[in-house]
């Protein structure tokens, strides 16, 4: 994560602790999407001249706190000088057997498409922080920002879904629009998503209204929500729901199905009309 590209440190954007948390969350989320157990984490800090020592400590402490919570261990790293703040995280994950791990290419026609938790907080927070949602952010904006600043990698849920037989899984780091497209392309199948079914994080509907866009646009096009999107055969629907409920703190929402057809993703709005949902903006 690079200052000015993935985060800003100005007032109202991100604190050093939030940067540390988010950098680690992003790396651990990749392990969650494979159903891997987190292991060693290596943390490299690039610090600009004048960056306060105590801010570096806050950053590392927040990362260490999330690591402990996730069952990972910060095992090494480095500190160097850099023109802007840079946080480079390498997280190593483990599985007993390689077959327990899950990729992005195993979705099959007939599978259901599910997501964990709720979407859109990161995109809503970005809209608020950049001023696009108007001034005087309401309660919804506050909720979205709180969620966006402390994303939780869904490690236990990912492991449970892998063991329950999910065929393909990805974490929503770039946004559902492009992440579902990845699964569809690599599985040579059509991942069909009904946008009206997307579970919205608190505050997302309110921010969408201020922006004058449908709420699903924030939920489908924004990155860094770090929930999981997965495909699993319809017969395992209840087993997946139960496994995720027992493993973690979030629920599954079923948002579509996998069809024969052109490899990729297809999105339909509340009227069933196919719509384009690209236009994702990554820059914080």
Nearer to a second copy, 105 or 138 (CB): 105
- CA dihedral over 268, 284, 146, 72, signed as positive or negative: positive
Site residue total, a second copy (CB under 8 A): 19
Among 38-46, 108-116, 242-250, 260-268, which window interacts with a second copy (CB under 8 A)?
38-46
Beta-carbon count within 10 A of 10 CB = 8
Among 41-49, 120-128, 216-224, 231-239, which window interacts with a second copy (CB under 8 A)?
41-49
With tokens 């390689």, the residue in question is 98
Applying CB under 8 A, among 8, 9, 13, 44 the residue interacting with a second copy is 44
275 part of the interface to a second copy, by CB under 8 A: no
Nearer to a second copy, 81 or 99 (CB): 81
168 part of the interface to a second copy, by CB under 8 A: no
Applying CB under 8 A, among 13, 15, 40, 105 the residue interacting with a second copy is 40
79 part of the interface to a second copy, by CB under 8 A: no
Nearer to a second copy, 71 or 76 (CB): 76
Pairing of strands 111-116, 252-259: antiparallel
**Cβ atoms of 46 and 81 closer than 8 Å:** yes
52 part of the interface to a second copy, by CB under 8 A: no
5 part of the interface to a second copy, by CB under 8 A: yes
**Cβ atoms of 183 and 230 closer than 8 Å:** no
Can you tell me whether residue 282 is helix, strand or coil? coil
- The DSSP secondary-structure symbol of 201 reads P
- Candidates 122, 89, 281; CA nearest to 204 is 122
Closest contact distance (angstroms) between CB of 50 and a second copy is 15
**Cβ atoms of 31 and 74 closer than 8 Å:** no
280 part of the interface to a second copy, by CB under 8 A: no
- Candidates 205, 54, 218, 58; CA nearest to 143 is 205
Interacting residues toward a second copy by CB under 8 A:
1-2, 4-6, 40, 42, 44, 46, 76, 80-84, 86, 88, 90, 92
């Amino acid at each position: 994560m690079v200052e000015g590209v993935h985060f800003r440190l100005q007032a109202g954007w991100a604190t050093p602790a939030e940067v540390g948390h988010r950098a680690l969350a992003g790396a651990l989320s990749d392990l969650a999407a494979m159903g891997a157990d987190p292991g060693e984490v290596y943390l490299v800090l690039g610090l600009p001249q004048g960056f306060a020592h105590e801010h570096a400590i806050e950053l590392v402490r927040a990362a260490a706190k999330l690591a402990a919570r996730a069952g990972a261990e910060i095992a090494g790293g480095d500190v160097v000088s850099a023109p802007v703040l840079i946080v480079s995280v390498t997280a190593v994950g483990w599985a007993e057997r390689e077959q327990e791990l899950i990729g992005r290419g195993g979705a099959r026609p007939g599978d259901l498409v599910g997501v964990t938790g709720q979407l859109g907080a990161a995109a809503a927070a970005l809209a608020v922080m950049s001023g696009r949602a108007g001034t005087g952010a309401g309660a919804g904006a506050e909720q979205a920002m709180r969620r966006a600043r402390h994303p939780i990698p869904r490690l236990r849920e990912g492991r449970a879904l892998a063991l329950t037989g999910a065929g393909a899984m990805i974490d929503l780091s770039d946004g559902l629009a492009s992440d579902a497209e990845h699964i569809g392309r690599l599985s040579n199948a059509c991942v069909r998503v009904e946008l009206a079914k997307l579970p919205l994080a608190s505050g997302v509907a309110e921010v969408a209204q201020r922006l004058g866009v449908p709420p699903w646009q924030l939920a489908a096009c924004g990155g860094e929500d770090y929930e999981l999107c997965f495909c699993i055969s319809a017969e395992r629907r209840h087993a997946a729901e139960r496994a995720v409920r027992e493993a973690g703190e979030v629920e599954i929402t079923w948002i579509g199905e996998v069809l024969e057809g052109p490899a990729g993703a297809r999105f339909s709005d509340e009227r069933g009309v196919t719509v384009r949902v690209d236009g994702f903006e990554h820059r914080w």
